[in-house]
Amino acid sequence: VSWAADPAVISPQDPTLLIGSSLVATCTVSPDFHLKAEDLYWTLNGRRLPATSYSTLGPTTLSVALTHLNGSKQQSGDNLVCHSRDGGILAGSCLYVGLPPEKPVNITCWSKNMKDLTCKWAPGTEGETFLHTNYTLKYKLRWYGRDNTCQEYHTAGPYSCHIPKDLALFTPYEIWVEASNRLGVAVSDVIMLDILDVVTTDPPSDVHVSRVGDLEDQLSVRWSSPLALKDFLFQAKYQIQYRVEDSSEWKVVDDVGNQTSCRLAGLRPGTVYFVQVRCNPFGIYGSKKAGIWSDWSNPTAASTPRSERAAGGCDPKGGEQNTTLRRELKQFFGWVKKHAYGCSNLGIKLYDQWRVWLQKSHKTRNQV
Partner 1 sequence: GDSWGIFTFLCAALCNLPALPALNCTEELGTSQSIQKTYDLTRYLEHQLRTLAGTYLNYLGPPFNEPDFNPPRLARAERVPSATVDLDLWRGLTDNARLAANYRAYSRLLCYLRALDGQAATAELRHRLGHFCSSLQALVLSIAGVMSSLGYPLPVGPSAPPGTPVAPNDFLKKMDDFWLLKELQTWLWRSAKDFNRLKKKVPPAVVTLRLEARGF
Span of 86-94, 197-205, 280-288, 297-305 interacting with partner 1 by CB under 8 A:
86-94
Adjacent-strand bridge partners of 180: 134, 185
Q: Count of alpha carbons within 13 Å of 177, Cβ hemisphere only? A: 25
- Cβ contact 316:350 at 8 Å: no
For 297, residues 6+ apart whose C-beta sits below 8 A from its C-beta are 203, 204, 205, 207, 223, 276, 277, 278
**What residues numbered 35-64 form the site for partner 1, per CB under 8 A?**
43, 45-47
Span of 68-76, 99-107, 173-181, 243-251 interacting with partner 1 by CB under 8 A:
68-76
Interface residue with partner 1 among 17, 37, 91, 240 (CB under 8 A) is: 91
Interface residue with partner 1 among 31, 50, 145, 158 (CB under 8 A) is: 158
Q: Is 88 in the site for partner 1 (CB under 8 A)?
A: yes
Interface residue with partner 1 among 51, 65, 89, 356 (CB under 8 A) is: 89
Q: Is 16 in the site for partner 1 (CB under 8 A)?
A: no
- If the CB atoms of residues 1 and 233 are measured against partner 1, the closer one turns out to be 1
C-alpha dihedral (162, 168, 173, 178), degrees to nearest 10: -30
Q: Which of 139, 143, 104, 146 is nearest to 125 (CA)?
A: 104
Q: Is 13 in the site for partner 1 (CB under 8 A)?
A: yes
- If the CB atoms of residues 96 and 274 are measured against partner 1, the closer one turns out to be 96
- If the CB atoms of residues 154 and 337 are measured against partner 1, the closer one turns out to be 154
- Kindly report the backbone phi and psi dihedral angles of residue 51, in degrees, each rounded to the nearest multiple of 5, phi listed first: -65, -20
**What residues numbered 221-250 form the site for partner 1, per CB under 8 A?**
none
- If the CB atoms of residues 84 and 220 are measured against partner 1, the closer one turns out to be 84
Q: Which of 362, 360, 368, 331 is nearest to 347 (CA)?
A: 331
Buried (b) or exposed (e) across 13-40, using 16+ Cβ within 10 A?
Answer: eebbbebeeebebbbbbbeeeebebebb
Q: Is 148 in the site for partner 1 (CB under 8 A)?
A: no
Q: Is 1 in the site for partner 1 (CB under 8 A)?
A: yes
* Contacts with partner 1, residue ranges (CB under 8 A): 1, 3, 5-7, 10, 13-14, 43, 45-47, 73-79, 81, 88-89, 91-94, 132, 154, 158
